[in-house]
Chain A
Amino acid sequence: MKRLCLLFIGCILLAGCSENTSEGKGTFPEKNIEIIAPASPGGGWDRTARSAQRAMNADGTVEEDITVVNKPGGGGEVGWQYLMQQDAHFAALNSSLLITGPLLGQTELTHEEFTPLAMLSTEWLAVAVREDAGIDSGTELLEQLKEDPKSLVIGVSPSLGSGNHLAFVQAVIEYGIDPTELQFLVYSSGGDIMNALLGGHIDVTSNSLSDLSEQYLAGEVDILAVTSPERLDAFPDIPTWKEQGIDMEFPHWRGIMGPPGMSEEEIASWDLYLSEMVETEEWQTDLENNNLEEFYMNSEETKEFLQDQNEFFEGIVEDSGLTP
């Protein structure tokens, strides 16, 4: 019995060696592809990563196995630090937190260190009040805040400096209100926010439309404005900020990036995988189920987009009074 065991272990070790020796030549990809979700299972990043995995499998352009690994912590930073040490077979999801992190002084890691691969999806953010709040439009809300910035309690999640928070900050700045005068309560999740809003513990929230839509359709909350450039097909009754005279657009995007120093070929391969992936039916269905919008950009476009976003957030973080 013991001998058998030893033999077995020996075989495994041998198999392990032979796999190692075959590495190093050949073309990309030469082993499994790993998508890093820098968050716990169940959240937005995790869901996007798993949708991508499922769609890439269905598409079949990638022949190797695709796995999703969760590296939660630090608003994405744990996962991104992990990506820094990997090769081109790894890619991690990102969002505006990648850009706001260094601007808020929370980390030294900037988006420039990574290789942008693609933008994947976006959701639009919206401002909501309780149905019986007596506020009928975005401008009415801003007018009330201008008269008395402390008259309403605003709930945001998951942190100050998050997209949800900064989207509202941008709107009030456009209207000429000092955002540092406002009363923000921070909650850890969109669910907690909805609890507090329905229970009357906060008056206003700025949140992603998907976190608000269920209660909106049930008639419990009113949505006053959405940050999209035009009205959304799914919610034709919700006006944009733009048409209420507030000149702003605020996508809450999710993208994907690779480790530093990827070669042209590797980037080209990823461009191919991801452009095919977003065409699949699986991907489209998942976008719909999660109330997300198509937002695909290839690696070139993503690079430019991230630079634009960096400039944009630099301005808004400064105005918000959050700069360290």
Chain B
Amino acid sequence: MDVNIILDGLWTALQPANLLWLLLGAVLGTIVGILPGLGAATGVAVLIPLTFGMEPVSALILMAAIYYGALFGGSRSSILINTPGDGSSIAATFDGYPMTKKGLAGQAMSIAAMASLIGGVMAIFGFIFLAIPLANFALNFGPAEFLLLFLFALSAVVTLSQGNIIKGFLTMFLGLGISTIGVDLQSGVHRFTFGLPHLTDGINFIVIIIGIYAIGEVLYNLLKPQYSGKSNGQDIGSKWFTKEQWKRSLAPIIRSGPIGFFLGVLPGSGGTIASLLSYSTEKQISKNKDEFGKGAVEGLVAPESANSASAVGSLIPMLTMGIPGSGTTAVMLGALVMIGITPGPLLFENSPDTIWTLINSMFIGNIILVIINILMVGMLVKILKTPPNVLYPIVLILSFLGAYTLGYSTIDFYILIIAGVIGLLMRILNYPVVPLILALIVGGDMEQNFQRAMIVYDSPMDILFASPIAIVLALLTVLSLCYPLIAKVFKRRKAVK
């Protein structure tokens, strides 16, 4: 690694014009991240025409800034009003929203921003030293490995669902069922599309997320018997997190960064799986298990760190091999090709300066984002003081708007409303939502990989023993399924003693 190239990259990244693009991208990204449905992919896509006249490097900086800016912003609405805008910010509701209810909204947001920063910076170091070997490692994931990875993620998350595991499995199956809607790639058969062309590509899981959380939340509050027109009226608390919170957070943040980074490199829904798995890991090893779900700061920072790291990780296959692993990186790839940068193995050889400028600007961008986000805390907490009769109509409008921008179709409105009613029922009957959402996100890929694996391997047993990675993932799956049982046995022993 040549130090001069790194310094040159830093110099280019610090050019006023590039700093300005970085700032613009960070602010825009944060905004689209906060608004439900308007994720990073939409943010980047909208800006494509703007990038035509730009220096290629500046365009890359702008798009990357929107990408990780959206991840910083994504958790804001999860923390404040319990409505995540996409899959990767769901985990922030588990403990972020309870913290808000306790009157710690300001602290929750500032420490979440710090967690994103540290996770992101760890991943940038990972990018510098491991980009190419990791991209090659990720190639080992074939049909069998992906199938088992998704199985593991599902089993880890379902057993995590509080209280009733059977209810967790039920909602998981509902999610898997919804994920079968659309055309089956391997056979070309249309399933449950009712002749609607819009449904051939399946139901967009983000519409379901917005429906279940945002619409569900609004409906729930409408039906609450003690409904009153005034604000939720919680304390907002200090903007700054305390020393004690910081002490409790540091280890989870540092543990979750690498998890997110590695999962981000794998193609698929990196952010969601990364944040949920890091949450479940922390919950299992934490000393404060009982506090999880009730506003434990560890449960907020772990997924935030993982999520931010996974975004950096997902840039690796896109830049080193020209293979996008997520919706956002796919849009970025298209835009980059149009302005004359062709990501791929040759980019690292032919124009390392582009890569190093990007890496340096990601550093600067993460720091800028923390500042923006902490400055915004004061403004954002005002949302909590907004009376429900103003706030909820706004949430509804944004939800419908977000759903429309995803598929440009009014059919999504109906899906949104149906999902909202389902979300309401699940809340009243106390069914866990997360297994449903995760199943919906990974279900399609999991099924396609299962079908591919059944074509390639002679018997199902061969899938389990396809490779060392497959064996490890299969073992992890079994372990996570048995974990509640083992935990129970241990508890009983302790009780006996």
Q: Which of A74, A161, A192, A200 has the most CB of B within 10 A?
A: A74
Report how many residues on chain A are interfacial, defined by Cβ distance under 8 Å.
Answer: 51
Contact yes or no, B334 A218, CB < 8 A: no
The interface stretch among B107-115, B273-281, B316-324, B478-486 is B316-324
Contact yes or no, B335 A74, CB < 8 A: no
Contact yes or no, B331 A215, CB < 8 A: no
Residues of B within 8 A of A47 (CB): 334, 337-338
Nearest CB of chain A from residue B363's CB, rounded to whole Å: 27
**Within 8 Å of chain A (Cβ to Cβ): is B49?**
yes
Consensus secondary structure, chain B interface: helix
Contact yes or no, B345 A160, CB < 8 A: no
A51 to B183, CA, bound (A): 30
Residues of A within 8 A of B343 (CB): 214
Contact yes or no, A43 B334, CB < 8 A: yes
Which residues, 182 to 202 on A, are CB-close (under 8 Å) to B?
183, 185-189, 191-192, 194-196, 198-201
Contact yes or no, A153 B456, CB < 8 A: yes
Contact yes or no, A183 B455, CB < 8 A: yes
Contact yes or no, A199 B346, CB < 8 A: no
Report how many residues on chain B are interfacial, defined by Cβ distance under 8 Å.
Answer: 49
**Within 8 Å of chain B (Cβ to Cβ): is A110?**
no
Interface string of A155-189 (1 = CB under 8 A from B): 00011110000000000000000000001011111
Residues of B within 8 A of A187 (CB): 185
Which residues, 137 to 195 on B, are CB-close (under 8 Å) to A?
138-143, 183, 185-188, 190
Contact yes or no, A70 B408, CB < 8 A: yes
A217 to B344, CA, bound (A): 10
**Within 8 Å of chain B (Cβ to Cβ): is A73?**
yes
Among B200, B330, B407, B456, the residue within 8 A (CB) of A42 is B330
A51 to B107, CA, bound (A): 47
Contact yes or no, B45 A42, CB < 8 A: yes
Which residues, 332 to 361 on B, are CB-close (under 8 Å) to A?
333-335, 337-340, 342-346
**Within 8 Å of chain A (Cβ to Cβ): is B294?**
no
Residues of B within 8 A of A186 (CB): 185-186, 448
Residues of B within 8 A of A159 (CB): 183, 185, 188
**Within 8 Å of chain A (Cβ to Cβ): is B468?**
no
Among A75, A160, A191, the residue within 8 A (CB) of B322 is A191
Residues of A within 8 A of B408 (CB): 69-72
A37 to B44, CA, bound (A): 17
Contact yes or no, A41 B338, CB < 8 A: no
Residues of A within 8 A of B340 (CB): 289
Residues of B within 8 A of A135 (CB): none
A192 to B146, CA, bound (A): 12
Contact yes or no, A78 B334, CB < 8 A: no
Among A78, A188, A199, the residue within 8 A (CB) of B140 is A199
A159 to B138, CA, bound (A): 24
A75 to B322, CA, bound (A): 23
**Within 8 Å of chain A (Cβ to Cβ): is B267?**
yes
**Within 8 Å of chain A (Cβ to Cβ): is B197?**
yes
A153 to B451, CA, bound (A): 14
Residues of B within 8 A of A73 (CB): 197-201, 407, 409
Closest to B42 in A: A41
**Within 8 Å of chain B (Cβ to Cβ): is A59?**
no
Contact yes or no, B197 A74, CB < 8 A: yes
Nearest CB of chain A from residue B131's CB, rounded to whole Å: 15
Among B139, B188, B346, the residue within 8 A (CB) of A198 is B139
**Within 8 Å of chain A (Cβ to Cβ): is B52?**
yes
Closest to B185 in A: A186
Contact yes or no, A74 B200, CB < 8 A: yes
Which residues, 418 to 451 on B, are CB-close (under 8 Å) to A?
448
Which residues, 112 to 146 on B, are CB-close (under 8 Å) to A?
138-143
**Within 8 Å of chain B (Cβ to Cβ): is A50?**
yes
Contact yes or no, B407 A286, CB < 8 A: no
Q: A42-B45, A159-B183, A185-B456 are in contact. Are A199 and B188 (CB under 8 A)?
A: no
Q: Which of A107, A195, A289 has the most CB of B within 10 A?
A: A195
A196 to B339, CA, bound (A): 27
Which residues, 63 to 81 on A, are CB-close (under 8 Å) to B?
69-75, 77-78, 81
**Within 8 Å of chain B (Cβ to Cβ): is A231?**
no
**Within 8 Å of chain A (Cβ to Cβ): is B48?**
yes
Contact yes or no, B345 A42, CB < 8 A: no
Residues of A within 8 A of B143 (CB): 185, 201
Residues of B within 8 A of A69 (CB): 408
Contact yes or no, B197 A81, CB < 8 A: yes
Contact yes or no, A188 B345, CB < 8 A: no
**Within 8 Å of chain B (Cβ to Cβ): is A151?**
no
**Within 8 Å of chain A (Cβ to Cβ): is B452?**
yes
A87 to B267, CA, bound (A): 42
Given A72-B201, A188-B448, A289-B339, output 10 extra A-B contacts at Cβ < 8 Å.
A41-B331, A42-B333, A43-B334, A70-B408, A72-B407, A78-B198, A158-B185, A186-B186, A218-B344, A290-B338
Q: List 11 A-B contacts (CB under 8 A).
A: A42-B330, A47-B334, A73-B201, A74-B197, A77-B200, A106-B188, A183-B455, A186-B448, A187-B185, A201-B142, A215-B321
Q: Closest 3 A-B residue pairs measured CB to CB?
A: A74-B197, A41-B45, A214-B344
